[in-house]
Amino acid sequence: MHILFAFMKKNIHFSGIAGAGMSALAQMAAGEPYEVTGSDRDFDRGQKQLLRRQLENLGIRICAQDGSAISASTVRLVVSTAIEDTSPEIAMARRYGVPVAHRSEVLAEYVNGSDSIVVSGTSGKSTVAAMLYCILEHAGLQPSIITGGSLLQLMKRGLAGNAFKGKSDILVVEGDESDGSLVRYKPKKGLALNITKDHKSIDELKKIFLAFKDNCIGGKDIACDATGCGNAECSAENAESETKDGMFAWNYDDKVCREIFSSLPQDSCLKGGKGCMRPFGKEKDLFFLSDVELNPFSSSFMLRGVKFSLPVPGNYNIYNAIAACAGAEMYGVSLEKAAEALKGFAGVDRRFVLIGEKNGIKVVDDFAHNPAKLAAVISALHGAGRRVFAVYQPHGFAPTRNLRAELVQSLASSLFKEDFLFMPEIYYAGGTVNKTISSADIVNDVRQAGKNAEFFPDRAGIPAAIAAKARPGDIVGVMGARDSTLTDLARAIAAAL
């Protein structure tokens, strides 16, 4: 696969390279004829040193994020959403006339220039993308992948795990709706897993996902304007696109997906028709689910008469597998071949990863951070332990403020009366933010709902607090996004038991 950068000389610099999406793009660019450099505040603070070494092993040169890496020889500056317009690197780029591109623009170049499939949805994207990559690789299709979660099978090779360049033109991509950038992508195939309130309202998300569907297969359903999705590049043009030879599969069992997609003409993508849509789900389009067995750290089921055994737990992972199979069938891969592949699925880093077990108490690390994900993981924890000790660190002040009611409802309804919730303060990644909400507010609301909850202004006290209460048969789930040190917290809890 070849990415068509406008510039084919000298170096490209990635500002915010330690982010999941940015590091993935940098890894892909490292295989192209450029000198790739990168910087990140976390690296400057001495954090994420393993990722730094993994990037450096690919020939990527890491620099301080002070503007010194930008010079007349820099031909492109790629920035993440977290990089403020006042960044010294952006200032230096303006000084030298270096073009600045957002992460989503560069990802769109990869997506639009390959036989890509974009996995979209509020929850489950990383796992479905990983499962789909696993299936396609097992089928001998030699795919590439760009995703937000690190595949453990790639990490075992010494890679960062969130990107890999295969030998074919097939590319699996995790598409992000949180900043509206999903509408930039025009893949040949698309998956919509679910649509729930997270970073944007449901009405905004409906416009984004309909525009994304149009980008996959064409259509004239709705104009996704700048007000709807927050992306100036998204306009009525998206709704006026011509019919394409694309494929689009969506989850019939998701309420909002069904609301916006079910009234549109459907056709089986397996027939190879133009602009085909296909619903998938536990009882749709021949994906008939039966014989479900949920175990503490695995699951099994029958799908269209084919036996699946997954080394990951929970109903939500069964749905993830169904979605991955729907995507794989677009490439002609059978359910039988998919079942063979997923039997050996290694999983995704920080997705229900067992950190350790001590004195009969298990500790699990997970990326769950929005209401739907928290509910799904807590349900899986209940299947693996007697009592759940949920440790949840919100990943930002703005999303916590936006989702306060939904987070409280999810936690209060998911936790049993005998469970415990421990919350450190909201993760602060730096920059200018409104800190007028605290984890203490969520804890107080959950307490008012009758559940055990405690706020820790210093999370260093959490391991001892859990060790004092936990008993053999209990399980601890450490949950939260963005903060890579949460895994260290999970290890500290396991050590304290």
For the residues 146-162, what does the mean pLDDT come to?
A: 96
| Residues contacting 3, CB < 8 A, separation 6+ | 28, 29, 32, 106, 109, 110, 113
Q: What angle do CA 412, 429, 79 make, to 5 degrees?
A: 120
**Segment 323-363, tens digit of pLDDT:** 999 999 999 999 999 999 999 999 999 999 999 999 999 99
Which pLDDT score is estimated for 209? 95
Q: pLDDT of 304-317, one tens digit each?
A: 899 999 999 999 99
* Crossing angle for the helix pair 335-343 and 125-138, to the nearest 10 degrees: 110
Per-residue pLDDT tens for 94-112? 999 999 999 989 999 999 9
Q: How far apart are CA 255 and CA 122, in angstroms?
A: 13
Residue 40 backbone class (left: φ over 0; alpha: ψ -120 to 50; beta: rest): beta
Interacting residues of 108 by C-beta distance below 8 A, sequence separation 6+: 181, 184, 185, 186
**Rg of the chain on CA atoms, in Å:** 22
User: Is the CA virtual torsion 126, 299, 158, 430 positive or negative?
Assistant: positive
133-137, 219-223, 315-319: least confidently modelled range = 219-223
Average pLDDT of every residue of the chain:
90
pLDDT band with cut points at 50, 70 and 90 for residue 230: very low
- Sequence-ordered alpha helix ranges (H) in 289-353: 315-329, 335-343
User: Could you write out the DSSP letters of every residue in 105-167?
Assistant: HHHHHHHHTSEEEEEE-SSSHHHHHHHHHHHHHHTT---EEE-SS-BHHHHTTTS-SSEE--S
Eight-state DSSP code of residue 281: B
d(CA 420, CA 400): 20
| pLDDT on residue 139 | 98
Band of pLDDT at residue 226, cut at 50, 70 and 90: very low
Q: Starting from the edge strand earliest in sequence, which strands make up the sheet with 11-15, in order? A: 61-63, 35-39, 11-15, 74-79, 100-102
d(CA 10, CA 214): 37
Q: What is the pLDDT of residue 274?
A: 53
Residue 469 token pair: 């209460």
pLDDT of 382 > 70? The answer is: yes
Amino acid 220: pLDDT: 47
Q: State whether the Cα torsion 276-277-282-284 is positive or negative.
A: negative
pLDDT at 180: 74
Q: Is the pLDDT of residue 212 over 80?
A: yes
CA distance 12 to 7: 9
Q: How far apart are CA 434 and CA 440, in angstroms?
A: 16
For the ranges 72-76, 103-107, 235-239, the lowest mean pLDDT is seen at 235-239
Give the distance, in angstroms, between the CA of residue 333 and the centroid of all CA atoms in the same chain.
24
Model confidence at 5: pLDDT above 80: no
Among 320, 282, 288, CA closest to 304: 288
Count how many Cα atoms sit within 13 Å of the Cα of residue 88 in the half-sphere of its side chain: 12
DSSP string, 375-412: HHHHHHHHTT-SSEEEEE--S-HHHHHHTHHHHHHHHH
pTM for the full predicted model: 0.90
Please report the domains of the chain, with CATH numbers, ordered by start residue. Answer: 11-98 (3.40.50.720), 106-343 (3.40.1190.10), 353-496 (3.90.190.20)
Q: Over range 168-196, report the average pLDDT.
A: 91
